[in-house]
């Protein structure tokens, strides 16, 4: 990727312009169509390449709860740089693990993964989500905000700031289920509270997607029961096991018994109501923000015929097929956590089954169990994940279906490791995430290229305060609901081409910059659409001979490129 020395994306970023004294270099006029054709401009590859990033269970970020704010920011930048080095174009960042928040809000306490060493009420002194969005976009990465809606306590610790916070105002919502603490989705006001927390993030931050995984109702736990039977010498202990029932008797009696035949139907309806309301709420605010869900890979055993496994429909009450068929999401990332030649050929058969259920024409981008490659127990060979990606590509060849996949998780993907080296070959060509034309099919107009700057140095900004970016709780909000409100930015290092978004049918979210060297080879990178100077230095440090700029709309639709010869 080319290095762009620019401030972060977002309304809260500082605004500043290049030095007026920067010398202007002679750049050719935009090239006519026939000359553009002779340059053999390469097509823009489209594929979602994402990875989950979480603090849970020794995760990627933050890896420890006792890190200083500066150390947290440095580690997050390293995580994003790793994603770029691997050839990814999106990160899925865990921002709500257990009724908590990785951002400042009155709706939830700070996540203990950020602040446990400083106490429940402590602030990290900066806005981690604003920082993450800005730095991801600066690197050409989408940022998908990942929420666990109803879990109220972390899965890897006994510190429960989220549950403690909610019990103060809504004690009846919080229930214990075996070793877990949960928000009961049976209460309509509880669902509304969680929904409002997610929509607050949509309103305040320039995220690219809202992402949910497979946690709605908890996976079932069992309890062991021991009791003594018999008399005298025949007295002995009998051990039995039974499934623990989710403790929602109160919400069932109040909201479900008169409407639903079974408690299972009531629970599925609660989750489906939440999913439908979430999709509607996101689109009312920012239609271009994707809604993605990564459910358990099997909807129900027997689908497809002969396939066995956990029944997510009856165990965690997730009717994920309904959500897909109703179009209540923009992408589905079913967790296909099996090997290509594994039991019942689940990977290939389930991918085909989910695609067959996709009557609404959404994206099907499976989740891959990448962390098994470097696991301590029964690790997969490093060639497995590239082989799965190759299979997914081949299965969609010649169809209108989009390409894409999600890696669980980034920590398993060291760029210099056996898997990382193979992925560099798999991702030899940079890719732009696929378009979602059902959210808006209008293409941006071709950009206006207005000459070059030979050394686009700029006056440095004032030093940022120790807390990081100048973003307050309200500063990241758009000027009005549904408005992108980009802030044009111009600072780059080295020679650059001046670009302006033409007023057309759709605004520009990203620029795809393609540079041609003296030998006719092209290199491609993605840059934020609010930049007005784009660098024309090749990865080897030489100046490009030609530059093509492709505008990309908020829904991923590309417009006609503008091409200029760089003299």
pLDDT in tens, 269-305: 999 999 999 999 999 999 999 999 999 999 999 999 9
Answer yes or no: are the C-beta atoms of 117 and 62 closer than 8 Å. no
pLDDT at 33: 75
pTM: 0.88
Q: Is the pLDDT of residue 450 over 70?
A: yes
Measured CA to CA, the distance from residue 390 to residue 243 in angstroms comes to 40
Helix axes of 128-138 and 69-86: crossing angle, nearest 10 degrees: 30
pLDDT in tens, 386-429: 999 999 999 999 999 999 999 999 998 988 889 999 999 999 99
Provide the CA 388 distance to its chain's centre, in angstroms.
20
Confidence of residue 228 (pLDDT cuts 50, 70, 90): low
pLDDT in tens, 92-141: 999 999 999 999 999 999 998 888 654 455 788 899 999 999 999 999 99
pLDDT in tens, 229-281: 667 766 756 666 678 899 999 999 999 999 999 999 999 999 999 999 999 99
3-state secondary structure of 278: helix
pLDDT at 539: 84
**CA quadruple 407, 413, 418, 423: dihedral positive or negative?**
positive
Q: Is the pLDDT of residue 464 over 70?
A: no
Measured CA to CA, the distance from residue 497 to residue 66 in angstroms comes to 44
Measured CA to CA, the distance from residue 102 to residue 108 in angstroms comes to 10
Residue, of 47 and 539, whose pLDDT is higher: 47
Q: Both tokens of residue 71? A: 């150390």
Total number of residues shown for the chain: 567
Answer yes or no: are the C-beta atoms of 565 and 542 closer than 8 Å. no
pLDDT at 20: 34
Buried b (16+ CB within 10 A) or exposed e, 306-324: ebebebbbeebbbbbbbbb
Q: What are the helix (H) ranges across 286-383?
A: 312-315, 320-326, 346-356
pLDDT at 25: 38
Instruction: Count the Cβ atoms, other than its own, within 10 Å of residue 42.
Output: 14
Count CA within 13 A, CB hemisphere, residue 515.
Answer: 24
pLDDT at 36: 76
Which DSSP state fits 332? E
Confidence of residue 8 (pLDDT cuts 50, 70, 90): very low
Q: What is the 3-state secondary structure (H, E, C) of 184-211?
A: CCCCHHHHHHHHHHHHHHHHHCCCCEEE
Q: Both tokens of residue 474? A: 């309200």
Confidence of residue 505 (pLDDT cuts 50, 70, 90): confident
Place of tokens 């081949």: 394
pLDDT at 121: 55
pLDDT in tens, 377-391: 789 999 999 999 999
Answer yes or no: are the C-beta atoms of 63 and 55 closer than 8 Å. yes
pLDDT at 433: 98
Which of 1, 154, 3 minimizes the C-alpha distance to 492? Answer: 3
Confidence of residue 194 (pLDDT cuts 50, 70, 90): very high
pLDDT at 166: 84
Answer yes or no: are the C-beta atoms of 559 and 551 closer than 8 Å. yes
Q: Output the average pLDDT for the chain.
A: 85
Answer yes or no: are the C-beta atoms of 565 and 546 closer than 8 Å. yes
**CA quadruple 458, 463, 469, 472: dihedral positive or negative?**
negative
Which of 492, 484, 490, 491 minimizes the C-alpha distance to 509? Answer: 484
DSSP element (H, E) containing 243: strand 236-243
Confidence of residue 461 (pLDDT cuts 50, 70, 90): very low
Answer yes or no: are the C-beta atoms of 146 and 95 closer than 8 Å. yes
Residue, of 453 and 562, whose pLDDT is higher: 562
pLDDT at 27: 60
Distance between first and last Cα of the chain? 22
Buried b (16+ CB within 10 A) or exposed e, 523-548: bbbbbbbbbbbbbbbbeeeebbbbbb
Domains of the chain: 1-45+435-567 (no CATH), 48-157+188-218+255-434 (3.20.20.80)
Q: What are the helix (H) ranges across 87-127?
A: 112-115
Please give the share of the chain, as a percent, with pLDDT higher than 90.
65
**Mean pLDDT (whole number) for 207-213:** 97
Residue 471 backbone class (left: φ over 0; alpha: ψ -120 to 50; beta: rest): beta
Buried b (16+ CB within 10 A) or exposed e, 372-399: bbbeeeeebebebbeebbeebeeebeee
């Amino acid at each position: 990727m080319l290095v762009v020395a620019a401030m972060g994306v977002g309304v809260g970023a500082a605004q500043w312009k290049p030095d007026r004294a920067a010398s202007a270099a002679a750049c050719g006029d935009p090239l006519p169509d026939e000359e553009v054709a002779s340059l053999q401009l390469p097509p823009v590859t489209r594929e979602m390449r994402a990875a989950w990033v979480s603090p849970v269970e020794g995760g990627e970020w933050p890896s420890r709860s006792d890190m200083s704010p500066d150390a947290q920011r440095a580690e997050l930048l390293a995580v994003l740089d790793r994603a770029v080095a691997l050839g990814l174009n999106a990160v899925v960042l865990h921002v709500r693990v257990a009724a908590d928040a990785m951002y400042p809000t009155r709706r939830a306490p700070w996540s203990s993964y950020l602040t446990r060493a400083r106490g429940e009420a402590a602030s990290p002194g900066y806005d981690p989500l604003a920082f993450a969005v800005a730095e991801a976009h600066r690197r050409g990465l989408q940022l998908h905000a990942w929420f666990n809606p109803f879990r109220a306590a972390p899965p890897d610790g006994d510190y429960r700031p989220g549950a403690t916070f909610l019990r103060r105002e809504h004690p009846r919502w919080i229930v214990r289920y075996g070793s877990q603490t949960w928000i009961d989705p049976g209460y309509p006001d509880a669902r509304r509270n969680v929904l409002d927390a997610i929509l607050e993030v949509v309103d305040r931050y320039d995220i690219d997607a809202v992402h949910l995984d497979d946690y709605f109702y908890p996976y079932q736990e069992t309890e062991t029961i021991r009791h003594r039977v018999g008399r005298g010498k025949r007295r002995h202990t009998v051990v039995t096991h039974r499934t623990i029932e989710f403790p929602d008797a109160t919400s069932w009696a109040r909201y479900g018994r008169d409407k639903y035949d079974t408690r299972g139907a009531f629970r599925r309806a609660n989750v489906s109501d939440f999913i439908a309301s979430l999709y509607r709420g996101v689109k009312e605010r920012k239609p271009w923000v994707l809604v993605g869900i990564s459910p358990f890979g099997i909807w129900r055993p027997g689908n497809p015929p002969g396939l066995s496994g956990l029944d997510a429909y009856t165990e965690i009450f997730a009717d994920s097929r309904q959500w897909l068929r109703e179009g209540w999401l923009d992408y589905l990332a079913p967790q296909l956590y099996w090997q290509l030649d594994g039991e019942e050929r689940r990977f290939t058969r389930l991918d085909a089954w989910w695609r067959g259920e996709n009557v609404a024409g959404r994206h099907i981008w499976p989740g891959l169990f990448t962390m098994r490659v470097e696991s301590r127990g029964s690790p997969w060979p490093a060639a497995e994940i590239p082989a799965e990606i190759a299979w997914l590509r081949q299965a969609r060849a010649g169809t209108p279906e989009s390409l894409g996949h999600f890696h669980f998780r980034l920590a398993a993907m060291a760029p210099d490791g056996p898997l990382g080296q193979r992925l560099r070959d798999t991702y030899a060509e940079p890719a732009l995430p696929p378009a979602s034309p059902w959210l808006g099919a209008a293409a941006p107009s071709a950009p206006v290229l207005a000459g070059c700057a030979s050394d686009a140095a700029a006056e440095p900004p004032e030093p940022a305060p120790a807390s990081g970016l100048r973003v307050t709780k309200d500063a990241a909000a758009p000027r009005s609901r549904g408005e992108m409100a980009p802030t044009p930015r111009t600072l780059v290092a080295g020679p650059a081409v001046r670009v302006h978004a033409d007023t057309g049918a759709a605004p520009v979210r990203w620029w795809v910059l393609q540079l041609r060297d003296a030998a006719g080879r092209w290199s491609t990178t993605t840059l934020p659409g609010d930049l007005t100077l784009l660098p024309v230095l090749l990865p080897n440090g030489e100046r490009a001979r030609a530059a093509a700029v492709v505008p990309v709309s908020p829904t991923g639709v590309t417009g006609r490129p503008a091409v200029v010869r760089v003299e």
